[in-house]
Amino acid sequence: MPKEGDPRRYRMKRWKRLICLMVLAAGMMSCVPRQTNAMDGVSAKSAILIEQHSGRILFAKDAYTKRRIASITKIMTAILAIESGKLDDMVTVSARAVRTEGSSIYLREGEKIKLRDLVYGLMLRSGNDAAVAIAEHVGGSVEGFVFLMNKKAAEIGMRDTEFANPHGLDDAENHYSTAYDMALLMQYAMKNEEFRRISGTKVYRAPAPPGEDGARVWRNKNKLLTSLYEYCTGGKTGYTKRAHRTLVTTASKDGVDLIAVTLDAPDDWNDHIAMYEYGFAHYRIAKVSGERVVKKIADPFYKGRLRAARDLQYPVTEKEMDGLRVKVYLLKPRDEWKDDPSRAPEEVGKAVLYLRKKAVDVVPLFYEPERKESSHGFFFHLLRLLGVRVDG
C-alpha cells in the first residue's frame, strides 16, 4: 500500500475518481432511451431510398459502389422497348432468343408475338428469352441494342454503369451498376405511363404459342407487389450466382412516392419494407402553390399576368418545414415590353424553393399579355348572345 505523499497514492485516487465518474455516466445514459438507426438492419451490401419526383436521397448505404445487377437490368430493356414506339409490332422469335439460358417465358423459335407481350413477360417473369427477342427487334441486334442501353444510361446520368447485355446474366465482366444509378433509371422509367402500368401489373395474359389453346398466364415475381406490402406499386426482381439477390421497387402512400434499390441483399423483401416504413414515417411532401406565388408579385408590369408552370414541392421532415423559403427571380421589364406587352418573352423568370440555403426545386414563370377588352362593351356582347345582328 503506497504511503502518504507517495505519487502512486495520488495516481490511485485519480483513477478511482475517474472510474466513479464513468459508472455514474453509464447509469445516467441507461435512463435515456437509446436512439437506434432504423436502417441498421438493412442486409444489402448496397441500398438506397429516394423520393421519386425530386430524387432526394432519404437513405443510402454504400450506394455508389459498382456491383453486378442481374435482372434489374431489364428495367432499361423495358423502357427502351416502350420508347421505341413499336409495342404493337409483331416480333419473330429467333433461335438465339430461344437458346438464352436462365429464366424464360418459353418462347418458340419462329413464333410471332407482340412486342408489348414480350415486355410484360420480361418484367413480370424476367424472361431472358424475351430480353433477347426485344433487343433484336428494337436494336437490330443484341449488340446494337446494348449500344442504345449505354447511350440512354449516359443521358439519364448513370455515370457508374455499363451494360453488356439486355438481361443481366453473368456472361460479361463489363456489366455493372450502382444502387444510386439504378434509382436514377427507375425514376426516369416511372415518368412513362406505359412503364408504370406494366411494372405494377400482378397478372398478365398473353396469347398462347402457335398450336395451343388458351393463353400464357404470367404472375409477377415481385412479392412486395403481389402479397407482402400493400403500398408497393411495381418493380423488378433479379438474381444470379455472382450478383446474388437484387431488387428495385416503388411504393406510394399519402401522396409520397418512393423508390428503393438493394444490391446483393439476402433479405431484400424486408430491406425494402424497412426502408419504405422509414421514409413514410419521417417525410412528407411540402407544397407551395404556384398560383399563390405569382399572386404575391407586386411589380406593376407583371402583376396579374404571370403563371407558374406547376406547384413547388419537396420531401421534408417535420423539423425541416421551418427551413423552407421561396424566392422569385424576374427579368427587369424593358421599355418596349411596356409599350407592347406581346413583345415580352414567354418565360420571364423562375420561382425557387430553398431548404435553408440549398435550392431544392425550381419552376419557370410565364408571362401572359393582358387581353384587350372589346370597345363595344357589355351591351354589344349581350345583343350578340340574343341573336341580334350588330354591324361594326
Q: What is the DSSP string of 83-109?
A: HTT-TT-EEEPPHHHHT--SS-----T
Active-site residue, from 71, 94, 103, 199: 71
Residue 267, pLDDT > 80, answer yes
127's grid cell: 424472361
Confidence at 38, pLDDT banded by 50, 70, 90: low
pLDDT on residue 239: 98
Which among 297, 306, 367, 284 has a CA at the least distance from the CA of 327?
A: 297
Tens of pLDDT along 291-332? 999 999 999 999 999 999 999 999 999 999 999 999 999 999
**pTM score > 0.75 for this model?**
yes
Alpha-carbon distances of 112 from 22, 89, 202, rounded to whole Å: 76, 10, 24
Tens of pLDDT along 197-211? 999 999 999 998 887
Active-site residue, from 74, 103, 177, 236: 74
CB 337 within 8 A of CB 345: no
250's grid cell: 416503388
Residue 43, pLDDT > 70, answer yes
Q: What is the mean pLDDT of the segment spanning 241-245? A: 98
Confidence at 389, pLDDT banded by 50, 70, 90: low
Strand pairing of 112-114 and 90-92? antiparallel
333's grid cell: 421589364
Q: What is the mean pLDDT of the segment spanning 103-132? A: 97
**Residues above pLDDT 90, as percent of the chain:** 81
Neighbours of 33 (CB within 10 A): 5
Which among 239, 368, 238, 242 has a CA at the least distance from the CA of 305?
A: 368
Residue 375, pLDDT > 90, answer no
Tens of pLDDT along 83-103? 999 999 999 999 999 999 999
Q: What is the mean pLDDT of the segment spanning 250-264? A: 98
Confidence at 214, pLDDT banded by 50, 70, 90: confident
pLDDT on residue 3: 53
CATH number 2.30.140.30 given to 291-367: yes
Provide the H-helix boundaries in 207-356.
223, 268-282, 290-295, 335-339
Alpha-carbon distance of 249 to 119, in angstroms, equals 17
Alpha-carbon distance of 239 to 236, in angstroms, equals 11
Picking from 24-28, 185-189, 278-282, which range would have the lowest pLDDT averaged per residue?
Answer: 24-28
pLDDT on residue 372: 46
pLDDT on residue 369: 85
CB 109 within 8 A of CB 94: yes
Picking from 29-38, 158-167, 373-382, which range would have the lowest pLDDT averaged per residue?
Answer: 29-38
Q: What are the b/e assignments for 330-343, b being 16+ CB within 10 Å?
A: beebeeebeeebee
Q: How far apart are the first and last CA of the chain?
A: 121
Q: Catalytic annotation on 152? A: no
Share the mean pLDDT of the chain: 89
pLDDT on residue 176: 98
Sequence-distant (6+) residues with CB within 8 A of 184 are: 55, 156, 157, 158
Domain ranges of the chain: 46-282, 291-367
DSSP assignment of 224-263, as one string? IIIII-TTEEEEEEEEETTTEEEEEEEEEETTEEEEEEEE
Alpha-carbon distance of 4 to 1, in angstroms, equals 10
pLDDT on residue 209: 85
Fold for the domain defined by 46-282: Beta-lactamase (3.40.710)
Residue 39, pLDDT > 60, answer yes
Confidence at 244, pLDDT banded by 50, 70, 90: very high
pLDDT on residue 313: 97
Residue 249, pLDDT > 60, answer yes
Alpha-carbon distance of 196 to 74, in angstroms, equals 14
Active-site residue, from 46, 94, 103, 126: 126
Confidence at 29, pLDDT banded by 50, 70, 90: very low
Q: Catalytic annotation on 104? A: no
Residue 386, pLDDT > 80, answer no
pLDDT on residue 32: 32
Sequence-distant (6+) residues with CB within 8 A of 362 are: 350, 351, 352, 353
pLDDT on residue 40: 76
Q: What does R_g of the chain's alpha carbons equal in angstroms?
A: 30
pLDDT on residue 324: 97
Which among 282, 353, 278, 265 has a CA at the least distance from the CA of 312?
A: 353
CB 152 within 8 A of CB 80: yes
pLDDT on residue 387: 54
pLDDT on residue 30: 36
Please tell me which residue, 263 or 392, carries the higher pLDDT value. 263
Residue labelled with grid coordinates 384587350: 372
Q: Catalytic annotation on 30? A: no
Residue 21, pLDDT > 60, answer no
Confidence at 19, pLDDT banded by 50, 70, 90: low
Q: What is the mean pLDDT of the segment spanning 29-33? A: 34
